[in-house]
Chains A and B, each alone.
Chain A
């Protein structure tokens, strides 16, 4: 009887979220270049709005840029008109360099104010949860100390590594808190450099710091790592974020079965092989196939009913799957708009019940 009651209670509001990592494909909608969108508040904001209007996702990320924090710390950034920017100089070559660095003020440093203003405007006008990116502690450490150097430092001088990570954690935490104050409902930590290290190193040099950042935020938190993170999944789960975002090479069903209660997995249609090169019909098939495989393992729960995920809906009345359909990684500008439309439509299609 009890189960039956729970069943009928859950059915009406059950929802499968569809949240692709949009951003760059929106540049076509506003005829904007990557450079404009990442350096001009209006161009960025209008692109995000155009994406929401056109595709109606369940949450919207602003446009990804992995250089904002490093730039605020004084690194030289290489911009180009149609490619994502990259970090072009190393600001930390010694412990002394590290000591000379200060946590930047998000209201003043580099382009952090631009992203904060974009978020403030998103909060004012967009009716869906707003999501921001910040860089993960290990990845920022690699950007300021050089990835190759950092990899060796992890083995040769763990104490120094920890000092760098304590600093980068403060940087990302301060910036993330400012983004939440500006209106971000979801903070997604981008930690791609973690895919290079062993689960043991991850547990020492990324997990505790990512966890500290996540725990300091009054927002839904997501951890995204690109590439094959299969060996890292158990440790990623221990960061206690609300959602683990996985790339297309990881078996999503395998992750679903490892998730702790209240956690979601976000993924993982191939952003290149499928989204750039396949036809809308093939994308539909791939999305439906993923949803079918996930449906046997997903759980319905209400723990993700943070204000961000259910605007205006009382938490106890809303139930969600712990599988959030998305792309495996950020979608590149070359993704045809009709492919995004096919992805969204296939995400919304009702699946024939497998039982």
Chain B
């Protein structure tokens, strides 16, 4: 395949994600298949690269939650086309396992879902336990999945105050697991006070922080 075609397809995939345009992404994904472009390359150098830019635009305050959600929908529309064409055994390499959930008593979903989605796209294997997750559910999920990182979110100050107890219990169960926390009332200072290993202000930051605490970056 000509370098020029390859570059055009990859650019279209990335731009489609960035421009919230799922039709553009689908067209480019179909073209990638037709032209014989490696689906893994299309995913990582097209879709994921586009979503990284979206994450940066979000951090810079140019994109907000609605835009990021639609960009992600566009990315997933492309993934749906490309994934079935991945050769058997060739899977998207995962950099670590994450269990994520909003803490018990907290039903705020959106921030947690954004982190979950960006970490998934950023290369982590993510199991999302949902909202209002009691400690026992985190612990039993860890027993089954043996995750590297447990990510806990709280949007309310009242629920946030349960974090130290959660972190202590998780560390007691498995001292090797790393705990990341986030949510509007939390700061890095508080996260450290609570005994967390990682903290991020937003979803894009969570991807970088996750890689940092696993010493991947």
B181 to chain A, nearest CB (A): 13
Contacts of B65 in A (CB 8 A): 151, 196-197
B187: interface (CB < 8 Å): yes
Residue contact B110 to A273, C-beta cutoff 8 Å? no
> Within the assembled complex, what's the spacing in Å between the Cα atoms of A333 and B159?
11
Residues of A within 8 A of B98 (CB): none
Q: Once the chains are docked, how many angstroms separate the CA of A196 from the CA of B63?
A: 10
A197 CA / B66 CA spacing, docked (Å)? 7
- Which one of B35-43, B67-75, B136-144, B209-217 is at the interface? B67-75
Would you mind naming 11 contact pairs between A and B with Cβ atoms under 8 Å apart? A87-B107, A151-B65, A151-B66, A152-B73, A154-B66, A156-B70, A196-B66, A196-B110, A198-B67, A329-B185, A332-B157
- Assess whether A84 is in contact with B158, with CB atoms less than 8 Å apart: yes
How would residues 138 to 168 of chain B score, 1 for a CB under 8 Å from any chain A CB and 0 otherwise? 0000000000000000001111110000000
Which residues from A are CB-within-8-Å of B157?
Answer: 271-272, 276, 329, 332, 334
Query: Which chain B positions have C-beta within 8 A of A332?
Result: 156-158, 161
Q: Which residues of A contact B113 (CB under 8 A)?
A: 148
Q: Of A78, A84, A88, which is in contact with the most chain B CB atoms at under 10 Å from its CB?
A: A84
In the complex, the answer to whether B109 meets A80 with C-beta atoms within 8 Å is no
Task: Chain B residues near A151: list those with CB within 8 A.
Answer: 65-66, 69, 110
Is A227 part of the contact surface with B, judged by Cβ < 8 Å?
A: yes
CB of B66 within 8 A of CB of A272, answer: no
In whole Å, how far is A164's beta carbon from the nearest beta carbon of chain B? 14
What's the nearest-Cβ distance from chain A to residue B76, in Å? 13
A78 to B131, CA, bound (A): 13
Instruction: Looking at the assembled complex, report how far the CB atom of A331 sits from the nearest CB atom of chain B, in whole angstroms.
Output: 8
Q: Which residues of B contact A334 (CB under 8 A)?
A: 157-158, 161
> Per-residue 0/1 for B95-113: is the Cβ within 8 Å of any A Cβ (1 yes, 0 no)?
0000000000111011001
Q: How close is B109's CB to chain A, nearest CB, in angstroms?
A: 6
Q: Is A86 an interface residue (CB 8 A)?
A: yes
| Complex Cα gap A333–B156 (Å) | 12
Apart from A155-B66, A155-B67, A332-B158, what 18 extra A-B contacts exist at CB < 8 Å? A83-B105, A83-B158, A83-B159, A84-B156, A147-B110, A148-B113, A152-B73, A196-B110, A197-B65, A197-B66, A198-B63, A201-B66, A231-B61, A273-B187, A277-B193, A332-B157, A332-B161, A333-B158
A325 at interface, CB cutoff 8 A: no
Residues of A at the B interface (CB closer than 8 Å) are 24, 78, 80, 82-84, 86-88, 147-148, 151-152, 154-156, 196-198, 201, 226-227, 231, 271-273, 276-277, 329, 332-334
Residue B30, interface by CB 8 Å: no
Cβ-closest chain A residue relative to B111: A196
- Shortest 8 CB-CB contacts between residues of A and residues of B: A196-B65, A151-B66, A332-B157, A86-B107, A198-B64, A83-B105, A272-B157, A332-B158
What is the bound-complex CA distance between A24 and B161, given in angstroms?
15
CA of A201 to CA of B65 in the docked complex: distance in angstroms?
Answer: 11
Most buried by B among A78, A88, A155, A277: A155
Is B190 located at the chain interface by the 8 A CB criterion?
A: yes
Contacts A226-B184, A272-B160, A272-B185 given; does A148 touch B107 at CB 8 Å: no
Interface residues on B, range: 20 to 34
Nearest-CB residue, chain B, relative to A147: B110
Question: Which single residue of chain B is at the shortest CB-CB distance from A330?
Answer: B157
Chain A contacts for B13, CB-based, 8 A: none
Interface flag for B189 (CB, 8 Å): yes
Bound form: Cα–Cα A234–B100 in Å: 36
Nearest CB of A to B100, in Å: 15
Given contacts A78-B107, A84-B156, A197-B64, contact A152 B161 (CB under 8 A): no
B20 within 8 A of A: yes
A151 to B184, CA, bound (A): 18
Give min CB distance, B164 to chain A, whole Å: 12
Question: Across the interface, which residues of B come within 8 angstroms of A273, CB to CB?
Answer: 187, 189-190
Return chain B residues, CB-CB under 8 Å to A155.
20, 66-67, 70
Quick check: B66 and A152 within 8 Å, CB to CB?
yes
Does the CB pair B73–A196 fall under 8 Å?
no
Contacts of B67 in A (CB 8 A): 155, 198
Chain A residues contacting B185 (CB-CB under 8 Å) are 271-272, 329
A226 to B160 alpha-carbon distance, docked (Å): 15
Closest CB in chain A relative to B74 CB, distance in Å: 11
In the bound complex, residues from chain A placing their C-beta under 8 Å from that of B66 are 151-152, 154-155, 196-198, 201
CA distance A156 to B109 in the complex (A): 20
B49-68 residues with Cβ-Cβ distance < 8 A to A are 61, 63-67
CB neighbours of A152 from chain B (8 A): 66, 69-70, 73
Residues from chain A with a CB closer than 8 A to the CB of B109 are 147-148
Q: Is the CB of B190 within 8 A of A272?
A: yes
Q: How far is the CB of A91 from chain B (nearest CB, A)?
A: 15
Q: For the complex, give the distance between the alpha carbons of A226 and B193 in Å.
A: 23
Instruction: Give chain A residues whose Cβ lies under 8 Å from the Cβ of B132.
Output: 78
A-facing residues in B73-91 (Cβ within 8 Å): 73
- The chain B residue sitting closest to A333, CB to CB, is B158
